[in-house]
Amino acid sequence: MANLPKIIQGGMGAGISNWRLARSVSQLGQLGVVSGTALDMILARRLQDGDPGGHMRHGLDHFPFPEMAERIWRTYYMPGGKHATEPYRTLPMHSKDCPRELQELCIVANFIEVFLAREGHPNPVGINYLEKIQIPHLPSIYGAMLAGVAYVLMGAGVPVKIPGVLDRFVNHEPATYPLQVSGALENDDTTMTFVPQDFAECELPPLTRPRFLAIVASNTLATTLVRKASGKVDGFIVEGPVAGGHNAPPRGKPQLSAAGEPVYGDRDHVDLEKMRELALPFWLAGGFASPEKLREALALGAAGIQAGTAFAFCAESGLQDDYKLALIRKAASGTATVFTDPLASPTGFPFKVAQLEGSISQQEVYLAKPRICDLGYLREAYRTAEGAIGYRCPGEPVTTYVAKGGRRENTLGRKCLCNALVANIGHPQVRGGKYVEKGLVTAGDDLTGITRFLPRHGSAYRAADVVALLLSA
Ligand SMILES: Cc1cc2nc3c(=O)[nH]c(=O)nc-3n(C[C@H](O)[C@H](O)[C@H](O)COP(=O)(O)O)c2cc1C
């Protein structure tokens, strides 16, 4: 493949790798990747915050279907922004037969994020999704493709059906996606369908088919995807367990260290010889954000590296400033620590948590938080006794989860990532005029070393500092 980036700025949800960060990285000639996670809600909240800077309005003005754009503007925009003690409007939660309002928000929000990241330069921009958050996939990908996204990157699951979806959307054809429903029977209807023509307000020319990069933690999964995917897989991100965000669980019987973190062993080793045999480009991720590691990756046959943590703390990222500065300060004083929490994420995947006062990484802050599920992106679909599809999250109130057939032990230590992750980027929900949702910051083990990107005597750095250091060798 021609023109491959050496550095991919990994997708970081929710809203950490926003259009600003991705645009900065792509402008520098590397690949900037926006996070596609929960963009519908993020757009709705940006508008309720009064759209500071007018960027959402600017994106809406370029959206190809003006009536849809106006509906969203009229519904969510609050001039001057909502009052700090006022709650954000709750959206309906995603379900298999998703309300049109949410599908429109997904299409438009994904369009805007990619459109803004592409503005002002001719270089490609990618978008990242978690396979596990399945329900928004079809309208979200369609929206991103309307804006000309060049790469779709997806991990946290087995995205075997995504390449075929990309192929269908090139000509605005309907696409389907199978929803995983636990306990579903063979004849249950679990297929989601999205018909672009149902949303179109005019005829559009064919779209460009983005390249599809699957994020994997094993060469076996990479081989399976090449053989079984519904269309072409164009390459891989091979991510190891020191990476920020969710990590693939260790293979075999789960074991915890004395500190309570998952233990990875030989079986988790990725055989790069097998990756090379696939003859597709791959990038190495997880502790690769240094000139030495980039050189090492190239020597191992990789096209380059994907980095997350290094970019999560630069000035352009969506992480709110007080969290960003506090963690940079901790890194500088040698007191930053990251815990790989086997329980925190409702997905059941290990999740890297930066320890930070005031965030729900602290037990007392976590315990003071009301247990609630009102965003619902990580809900699991299950077959109810009546044969319908129900939705449950182990982060919701325990009695509710158990009443839905969930196992009580699944609820232990679970955190409401949905609410915490939007709090991280400055859109916390407010409850009863008083309780303000707290954040939970994820970072890779690399957090302890991020001060290497700081300019001399500086306390903040930019994406350009990261790229310059990585390419300095
Ligand atoms: C704050 C943060 C959020 C992340 N969120 C996602 C995500 O939504 N989807 C994803 O595929 N990877 C996510 N990642 C992983 C990164 O894309 C990247 O692969 C990883 O950070 C690379 O390892 P490093 O942190 O050692 O550089 C996240 C990482 C961080 C630090």
Spacing of C-alpha 181 from chain mean position: 22
pLDDT at position 2: 66
pLDDT at position 266: 87
Atom of ligand 1 minimally distant from the CA of 129: 9
SS (H, E, C) 156-214: CCCCCCHHHHHHHHHCCCCEEEECCEECCCCCCCCEEEECHHHCCCCCCCCCCCCEEEE
Do residues 35 and 12 touch, judged by C-beta distance below 8 A? yes
Query: Is the CB of residue 215 below 6 angstroms from any atom belonging to ligand 1?
Result: yes
Among 7, 8, 9, 12, which is best to mutate for testing ligand 1, by the most ligand atoms less than 8 A from CB? 12
C-alpha to C-alpha distances, 42 to 134, 202, 331, 427, 459, nearest whole angstrom: 17, 27, 29, 8, 28
| Alpha carbons 85 and 180: distance in angstroms, whole number | 38
| Number of neighbours of residue 6 by Cβ within 10 angstroms | 18
Query: Is the CB of residue 289 below 6 angstroms from any atom belonging to ligand 1?
Result: yes
Burial 104-123 (b: 16+ CB within 10 A, else e): bbbbbbbbbbbbbbbeeeeb
pLDDT at position 291: 97
Please tell me whether the peptide bond between 14 and the residue prior to it is cis, using omega within 30 degrees of 0.
Answer: yes
C-alpha to C-alpha distances, 332 to 112, 122, 338, 449, nearest whole angstrom: 36, 36, 14, 8
Query: Is the CB of residue 10 below 6 angstroms from any atom belonging to ligand 1?
Result: yes
> What SS3 class is residue 405?
coil
Sequence-distant (≥ 6) Cβ neighbours of residue 291 within 8 angstroms:
469, 470, 471, 472, 473
Among 309, 316, 466, 470, which is best to mutate for testing ligand 1, by the most ligand atoms less than 8 A from CB? 309
pLDDT at position 213: 98
pLDDT at position 156: 86
Query: Is the CB of residue 286 below 6 angstroms from any atom belonging to ligand 1?
Result: yes
pLDDT at position 193: 97
Rounded to two decimals, the pTM is 0.97
C-alpha to C-alpha distances, 236 to 37, 130, 168, nearest whole angstrom: 20, 15, 21
Sequence-distant (≥ 6) Cβ neighbours of residue 319 within 8 angstroms:
16, 312, 313, 424, 425, 441
Atom of ligand 1 minimally distant from the CA of 285: 22
**For residue range 412-451, what is the model confidence (pLDDT) as tens digits?**
999 999 999 999 999 999 999 889 999 999 999 999 999 9
Nearest residue to 38 via CA among 424, 462, 438 = 424
Taking the centre of ligand 1 as the mean of its atom positions, its distance from the CA of residue 187, in whole angstroms, is 37
Only one residue has tokens 């309780």, namely 435
Q: Token pair for residue 10?
A: 């990994």
Measuring from atom 21 of ligand 1, which residue has the nearest CA? Answer: 308
pLDDT at position 1: 65
Query: Is the CB of residue 451 below 6 angstroms from any atom belonging to ligand 1?
Result: no
**For residue range 53-79, what is the model confidence (pLDDT) as tens digits?**
999 999 999 999 999 999 999 999 999
pLDDT at position 285: 98
Measuring from atom 4 of ligand 1, which residue has the nearest CA? Answer: 12
**For residue range 367-390, what is the model confidence (pLDDT) as tens digits?**
998 899 999 999 999 999 999 999
Chunked into runs of 10 residues, the chain (473 residues) has average pLDDT values of 90 97 98 98 98 98 98 98 95 94 97 98 98 97 98 94 98 97 94 97 96 96 95 97 94 92 92 96 98 97 98 98 97 97 94 96 92 94 95 95 95 94 97 93 97 92 97 88
Atom of ligand 1 minimally distant from the CA of 243: 23
> What SS3 class is residue 400?
helix
pLDDT at position 295: 97
Sequence-distant (≥ 6) Cβ neighbours of residue 307 within 8 angstroms:
7, 8, 9, 10, 285, 288, 289, 446, 466, 470
Atom of ligand 1 minimally distant from the CA of 242: 26
